[in-house]
Amino acid sequence: MTLREVTATQELEVTDTQALLSQLCMGGPVPQDALNLSEQDMAMAALYTAMYGETIECHVPCSACDRKFETQFELSDWIASLRSGPDITRTGPNTFLYSDFSFRVPMSGDLDALGDVPPKARAKQLAQACVLEGTPDQQELEAALMRAGPMLDDDIEAHCPHCDAHQTFPLRLDAYFWAALRRERPIIIREIHQIAMAYNWPRSEIMSLPRSLRREHVRLILSDHRPRGVSSWR
């Protein structure tokens, strides 16, 4: 899957990250059943990295002392840690073999089919729906599934720097990415404003600039407006 670069139109107007991913796929949207859930998450990770870089930065309240702290890690390290697990054999585009059972990684349709299954039972039922042959032990099945198709929806371990309490907090890349897009909204609007003021270009033209080119123009505009001979940090 090759992704084209995002524009301000998409950054400001998409309604969710899946829609953004579909719009940026060269050759048109990928049908839902073409990628399993892990492949969808990996495509989302590639888009996140292209837009914001590798780092994931979380501000979370401590479960023990309730004070907020910051923790950060690299997206590639997160993916690598999720992929640790038993050695499995790929036997087809989405079929795998481990021990005495074969399985596949879940698709969107599997999630839809869960319907009203209570949250606690969902992971187990989803994993069981992916068994193709054999009767695996649930723990073995989940480990093999994680290795074949990790999903970026996990409990992250952290230490509170204030009280040293060890804890976990849930993180879903999809939701984190969406929050990052929302947080950047005022910055993007400011960039459009700066380019419009400096060049007098029509809004539609600015809105369709690739993100990196838009930022390059803003950098030039800001460096031109800085008084000469004055340090930028004064």
For residues 187 and 178, give the distance between their C-alpha atoms in angstroms, rounded to a whole number.
Answer: 15
Nearer to Zn ion, 60 or 196 (CB): 60
Q: First CA to last CA across the chain, in angstroms?
A: 46
**What are the residues whose beta carbons fall under 8 Å from the beta carbon of 152, sequence distance 6 or more?**
41, 44, 45, 78, 79, 82, 171, 172, 173, 174
Output 67 or 83, the one with its CB closest to Zn ion.
67
What would the two tokens of residue 168 be?
């976990």
**CA distances in angstroms from 61 to 170, 172, 224, 228, listed in the order given:** 12, 17, 42, 44
Please state the closest distance from residue 163 (CB atom) to Zn ion, in A: 3
Considering the complex, state which of residue 64 and residue 80 has its C-beta at the smaller distance from Zn ion: 64
Give me the sign of the Cα torsion angle 174, 188, 11, 75: negative
As measured in angstroms, the least distance from the Cβ of 65 to Zn ion is 3
Taking the complex as a whole, the smallest distance from the CB of residue 70 to Zn ion amounts, in Å, to 12
Contact 196, 169 (CB under 8 A): no
Q: Which residues contact 168 (CB under 8 A, 6 or more apart)?
A: 155, 156, 157, 158
Question: With 0-12 CB in 10 A as exposed, 13-18 as middle and 19+ as buried, what is 183?
Answer: exposed
Nearest approach, Cβ of 118 to Zn ion (angstroms)?
A: 31
Q: CB of 163 within 8 A of CB of 65?
A: yes
DSSP code per residue over 11-30: HHH-SSHHHHHHHHBTTSPP
Task: Report the nearest approach of Zn ion to the CB of residue 1 (Å).
Answer: 41
Shortest Å, Cβ 167 to Zn ion: 8
Nearer to Zn ion, 67 or 226 (CB): 67
By C-beta, is 64 or 175 nearer to Zn ion? 64
Nearer to Zn ion, 133 or 164 (CB): 164
Of residues 62 and 195, the one with the C-beta less far from Zn ion = 62
Residues in contact with Zn ion by CB under 5 A are: 62, 64-65, 160, 162-163, 165
